A and B are shown apart, each in its own frame.
Chain A
Amino acid sequence: MSDEVVEGLRVRDLVVELGYVDRAGLEEALDLQEDLHEQGVKAHLIDVLEDLGLIDEDQRLQVLLHQEMRLVLADLPGARRDQRHDRWVMAAIVSASLIRSPLGVLAAAAALAIGAWLAAGRPWRWVALGWLAATAVPGTAAAATAAAGVTGTSGATSRERATALLRAAVLTTALAPVRLLPVELTPLHYFVAAALALAVARRPR
């Protein structure tokens, strides 16, 4: 089993990925868990999170279900190509849907590239402020919003965010000519196309 699959199984990753706990809360729980370990109490992180009130009973169950599900899925073909690609594809969908002209799509790609630069090695807060600055320029609000599509993933590292944004910028640029087609494209078209593309990409060879 590859490292990336094991990485996605940890409670600390799951609770953040599922949006139940933010980084600060997780740090708090980890500190407490470490304190408990020093006291000789080997507490599971999920118990600590629940006792701190950071997750409730349902969320605890969801985390455990996800963990068990991923354990099963990890041995199935295609599972190892994890969900890493989902987010930048999603960002491209958002930007392509929001922007209704080829020039606007290029602007979105530029915003995504700027987002990538901001995301590299910088905390998420700065990226948000970068988008905010971009929205102040008339006409680029949608482009800046598109950039938010991927990097709002609170569990990703700065490098992963930057890579995702760059990929999204490339895909968004590639989608610019699609806007020239005489077809009214809706999010439904993008959802179906992206689902098919991701499924084909994950097909075991």
Chain B
Amino acid sequence: MKGPFLRSPQSTRGLMVQVVVAASPALFAAVVRLGAPAAAAILSAVAGAVAVEATLKHRSVADGSAVVTGAIVALLLPADAPPWLAAIAGALAIGLGKAPWGGLGKNPFNPAALSRAVLMVALPAHFFAPAWRWDAVTAASPLSKEIGATAPSWTALVVGDAPGCLGQAAPWAVVAGGLLLVALRTIDWRVPLAYLSAIAAIALVLPGGARVTGHAPWLVGDPMLHLFGGGTLVAAFFLLTDPATAPMSQGGRIAFAWIAAIATMAIRNFTPYPDGAALAVLLANACAPWLDRVTIERRTQLGTSSRARRGRREWRVPWGRQREVSDGARPSGGTRSSRPTGS
């Protein structure tokens, strides 16, 4: 190791290869279950991401981060996403989610979640369809807000017989990929654990009621539906663990996962949105700077403390707001802060 800099033994490219390998089972399972349309969507998302990356910053294509982003974008897409939508999603993830912020490691929001959220607002028809296609059969998503939709069985959820986004095609494969990342220490195991346990706990304690059960009565009180439905697992293992968009401290990351879990469940249960995971991740990303401030900056007292600053100044204007009650005596001089003020 040279100089004062900490270096990781892992290169960026090595990390990206690990993530792609971890995402591969889920992507492969989606192709096996859904066939050519899923393959076209995945390839389009990756191609869109790589194309924009190559256009804007061609040198960084080699690190493989655009491929990772495209792959994760694909996992969040609806199962029947057309290739053009997937390509736009991949392109947006890089074009809006990464490049404007300065590239890899500087983005405050997870690019894949950002891409899905922006598309959900800009092209809602593709995300708010009342029923998603699955194995040529039209069925309601497990987290559909359709009143009267029936709950799928636990087996169907785990194996992937329930409809939803591409990442739901084989939840077991997402879990396997996630556990691989944990084993390789690529991600912090506490984040998915905190997120998933909080989701389960909230699902158990969330009381029923008109507002909740009006959307999907069978959603209440069943943690399995929430854990294996929607983008929960993808968010737990692939979105929330992005080091650029998560807080730096361990405590901060756990709080970050809890915020995401609360937001996920709030969106699912109290709003008409089909799945809250991506939006919840973005909300947690937005809170990350605050969590860093609370958990790191205050503890280490980074920055200039007001007391220290006061100590440096040898005089103060003595009247201030009490100018009219002072006797008019003014300071005769003194030194001031040496910082440039431009005045």
* A interface residues with partner B (beta carbon < 8 Å): 9-12, 32-33, 35-36, 39-48, 51-53, 57, 60-61, 64, 67, 186, 188-189, 192, 195, 199
Given A39-B330, A39-B332, A41-B334, residue A53 in contact with residue B320 (CB < 8 A) = yes
Q: Which 5 A-B pairs have the closest CB atoms?
A: A51-B317, A45-B343, A57-B306, A44-B341, A11-B343
Is B7 interfacial (CB-CB < 8 Å)?
A: no
Contact of A192 among B118, B321, B331, B339 (CB under 8 A): B118
In the complex, are the beta carbons of B100 and A199 less than 8 A apart?
yes
Contact B306 A47 (CB under 8 A): no
| Chain B residues in 8 Å Cβ range of A186 | 121-122
Q: Contact at A44–B321, with CB atoms within 8 Å? A: no
Q: Does B299 contact A (CB under 8 A)?
A: no
Give Cα distance in the complex from A11 to B341, angstroms: 6
B337 & A47 in contact (Cβ 8 Å cutoff): yes
Q: Which of B313, B320, B330, B343 contacts A41 (CB 8 A)?
A: B330
- B306, B317, B320, B332: the one within 8 Å of A43 (CB): B317
Give the CA-CA distance A9 to B343 in the complex, in Å. 9
- Within the assembled complex, what's the spacing in Å between the Cα atoms of A40 and B331? 9
Contact partner, B317, options A9, A32, A40, A57, Cβ 8 Å:
A32
Instruction: From B121, B330, B336, give the contact of A188 (CB < 8 A).
Output: B121
Interface contact B342-A9, CB-CB below 8 Å: yes
Q: Is B59's CB within 8 Å of the partner chain A? A: no
Q: Given the complex, which residues of A lie within 8 Å of B303, measured CB to CB?
A: 61
* Chain B interface residue number, banded: 20 to 34
Q: How far is the CA of A60 from the CA of B320 in the complex (A)?
A: 16
B131 interfacial contact with A, CB 8 Å: no
Least CB distance, B270 to chain A, in whole angstroms: 21
| Chain B hits for A67, CB < 8 A | 340-342
Instruction: Report chain A residues within 8 Å CB of B317.
Output: 32, 36, 43, 47-48, 51-52
In whole angstroms, what is the CA distance A46 to B341 when docked? 7
Residues on A with beta carbons closer than 8 Å to the beta carbon of B332? 39-41
Is B4 in contact with chain A by the CB < 8 A criterion?
no
- A189-B122, A199-B100 are contacts. A52–B343 as well, Cβ < 8 Å? no
**Chain A contact residues, majority secondary structure:** helix
Q: How many A-B residue pairs have CB under 8 A?
A: 69
20 contacts between A and B (CB under 8 A): A9-B342, A10-B342, A10-B343, A11-B342, A12-B343, A33-B343, A35-B330, A39-B330, A41-B330, A44-B337, A46-B341, A47-B336, A48-B317, A52-B317, A52-B321, A53-B320, A64-B339, A186-B121, A186-B122, A188-B118
Residue B301 CB within 8 A of the other chain: no
Please pick, from B118, B320, B337, the residue contacting A52 in the complex, using a CB distance under 8 A.
B320
For B333, what are the chain A residues with a Cβ–Cβ distance below 8 Å?
40-41
Provide the bound-state CA to CA distance between A47 and B333, in Å.
13
Q: Tell me the dominant secondary structure on chain B's binding face.
A: loop
In angstroms, Cα B277 to Cα A155, docked, is 42
Query: Which B residue sits closest to A51, measured CB to CB?
Result: B317
B120 → chain A closest CB, angstroms: 10
B57 located at the interface, meaning its Cβ lies under 8 Å from any Cβ of chain A in the complex = no
In the assembled complex, B304 has its CB within 8 A of some CB on chain A: yes
| B residues near A36, Cβ cutoff 8 Å | 317, 330-331
Given contacts A51-B317, A61-B303, are A188 and B341 in contact (CB under 8 A)? no
Question: Which residues of the other chain, B, contact A189 by a CB distance below 8 angstroms?
Answer: 122
A195 to B99, CA, bound (A): 13
* A56 to chain B: closest residue by CB: B306
Closest to B121 in A: A188
Contacts of B320 in A (CB 8 A): 51-53
Q: Residue of A at shortest CB range from B335?
A: A42
For chain B residues 22-58, which have a beta carbon within 8 Å of chain A?
none
Question: Which chain A residues lie closer than 8 Å to B309 at the CB level?
Answer: 57, 60
Q: Is B96 close to A, CB under 8 A? A: yes
Q: Does B316 contact A (CB under 8 A)?
A: yes
- Cβ < 8 Å to A, chain B residues 121-172: 121-122
**Which residues of chain A have C-beta atoms less than 8 A from B121's C-beta?**
186, 188
B341 touching A64 by the CB < 8 A rule?
A: yes
Most chain A beta-carbon contacts within 10 A, residue among B121, B303, B317, B321: B317
Q: Mark B290-315, 1 if CB is under 8 A from A, else 0.
A: 00000000000001101001000101
CA gap between A188 and B122 in the complex, in Å: 8
Cα A46 to Cα B317 in complex, Å, equals 12
Known: A32-B317, A44-B336, A51-B320. 15 other contacts (CB 8 A): A10-B343, A36-B317, A40-B333, A41-B330, A41-B333, A42-B336, A44-B343, A45-B343, A47-B316, A47-B317, A47-B336, A51-B316, A52-B317, A52-B320, A67-B340
Contact with A53, one of B96, B321, B340, B343 (Cβ below 8 angstroms): B321
In the bound complex, CA of A60 to CA of B122 (Å): 40
Given A51-B316, A53-B320, residue A43 in contact with residue B339 (CB < 8 A):
no
Measured between beta carbons, the chain A residues less than 8 angstroms from B118 are 188, 192
